[in-house]
């Protein structure tokens, strides 16, 4: 019985590291773990040989990244982990994955978690590699601070290799740099548009949030009014915010250089006054 445990369960130390391993896998796949909650294990599970722990996971990101994440976790099912209640739903700002992961640990086991970047996972279909000239052109545009061209090139690269995490980082940085350039050039309205696009890539980006506040102050100063900022909460809509502050959806969109009425939790909005 103890020999069986050694082969099918994770060791106690490895089981304790599951949360960090899941987070590392998510990072490798270019997705964000927006929720990871411990919950009671299956009824009747657990014994003197093993301990059972269960987690409810929510992750967001591009579909190919979420599929890769599921593949990496699924690749070790039967070796101390199992997956249940899996679903992927498409939303306005990407896809959302939910699933339950159950961990089986035993003090008699020797099972180990593979590295988050382990190639011994189920591989999705490979995407074509990026041609070197594209990267050379991106480097040239970056060096010249030609941010519109750099952003266009990054988006082309991401269309070919959506799991390239470093390119998502570059896209965020390019929008921030473009926003800062517009801000320094005395164009806070267009700066706000670029900084909001940066926050679509990384909603908690500190640089984008800082420059967005600066742009809001400059825009308000130009109109002779003090800026009023509102942080979007889950479930908010532009129409509800407009009604709350006695303004219109159109005015909110203009003040924040929004092209659509889509907003997201954590986004900072300028509330037009006067």
Count Cβ atoms below 10 Å from residue 156 Cβ, excluding itself: 13
pLDDT at 195: 86
To which residue do tokens 């020999």 refer?
3
Both tokens assigned to 15: 């089981």
SS (H, E, C) the chain: CHHHHHHHCECHHHHHCHHHHHHHHHHHHCCEEEEEEEECCCCCCCCCCCEEEEEEEEEEECHHHHHHHHHHHHCCECCCEEEEEEEEEEECCEEEEEEEEEEEECCCCCECCCCCCCCCCCCCCCCCCCCHHHHHHHHHHHHCCCHHHHHHHHHHHHHHCCCCHHHHHHHHHHHHHHHHHHHHCCCHHHHHHHHHHHHHHCCCCHHHHHHHHHHHHHHHHHHCCCCEEEECCCCCCHHHHHHHCCCCHHHHHHHCCCCCCCCCCCCEEEECCC
Both tokens assigned to 56: 């409810």
Per domain, the residue ranges of the chain are: 2-105, 132-271
Q: Over its length of 274 residues, how does the chain's per-residue pLDDT go in tens digits?
A: 444 444 556 666 666 677 788 888 888 888 888 777 776 655 444 455 567 788 888 888 887 788 888 888 777 665 667 788 888 887 655 688 888 888 777 666 554 555 555 433 333 333 344 444 468 888 899 999 999 999 999 888 888 777 677 888 889 999 999 999 998 998 888 888 888 888 888 877 888 888 887 887 787 777 666 667 888 888 899 989 988 887 788 778 877 878 888 888 888 888 876 5
Strands 81-91 and 228-231: unpaired
Distance (Å, rounded) from C-alpha 232 to C-alpha 239? Answer: 12
To which residue do tokens 């908690």 refer?
204
pLDDT at 129: 43
CATH superfamily membership of 2-105: Ribosomal protein S6/Translation elongation factor EF1B (3.30.70.60)
CATH of segment(s) 132-271: 1.25.40
pLDDT at 130: 41
Report the side by side order of strands in the sheet with 94-105: 32-39, 51-61, 94-105, 81-91
Task: Give CB contacts under 8 A, 24+ apart, made by 255-263.
Answer: 255/219, 256/192, 256/196, 257/189, 257/190, 257/192, 257/193, 257/196, 258/193, 258/196, 259/193, 261/237, 262/92, 262/93, 263/232, 263/236, 263/237, 263/238
Do the beta carbons of residue 196 and residue 212 sit within 8 Å? yes
To which residue do tokens 């390019």 refer?
174
């Amino acid at each position: 019985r103890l020999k069986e445990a050694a082969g099918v369960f994770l060791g106690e130390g490895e089981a304790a590291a599951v949360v960090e391993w899941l987070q590392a896998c998510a990072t490798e796949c270019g997705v964000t773990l927006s929720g990871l909650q411990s919950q009671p294990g299956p009824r009747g599970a657990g014994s003197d040989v093993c301990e059972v722990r269960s987690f409810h996971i929510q992750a967001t990101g591009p579909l190919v990244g979420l599929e890769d994440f599921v593949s990496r976790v699924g690749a070790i099912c039967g070796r101390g982990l199992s997956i249940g209640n899996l679903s992927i739903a498409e939303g306005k700002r990407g896809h959302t994955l939910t699933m339950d992961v159950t961990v089986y640990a035993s003090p008699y086991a020797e099972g180990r978690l593979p590295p988050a970047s382990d190639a011994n996972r189920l591989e999705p279909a490979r995407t074509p590699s990026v041609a070197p000239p594209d990267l050379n052109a991106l480097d040239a545009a970056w060096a010249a601070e030609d941010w519109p061209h750099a952003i266009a090139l990054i988006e082309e690269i991401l269309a070919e290799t959506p799991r390239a995490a470093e390119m998502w980082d570059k896209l965020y940085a390019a929008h921030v740099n473009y926003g800062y350039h517009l801000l320094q050039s005395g164009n806070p309205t267009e700066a706000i548009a670029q900084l909001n696009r940066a926050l679509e890539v990384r909603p908690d980006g500190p640089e984008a949030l800082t420059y967005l506040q600066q742009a809001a102050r400059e825009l308000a100063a130009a109109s002779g009014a003090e800026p009023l900022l509102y942080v979007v909460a889950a479930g908010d809509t532009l129409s509800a915010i407009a009604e709350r502050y006695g303004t219109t959806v159109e005015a909110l969109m203009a003040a924040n250089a929004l092209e659509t009425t889509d907003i997201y939790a954590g986004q900072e909005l300028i509330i037009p006054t006067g």
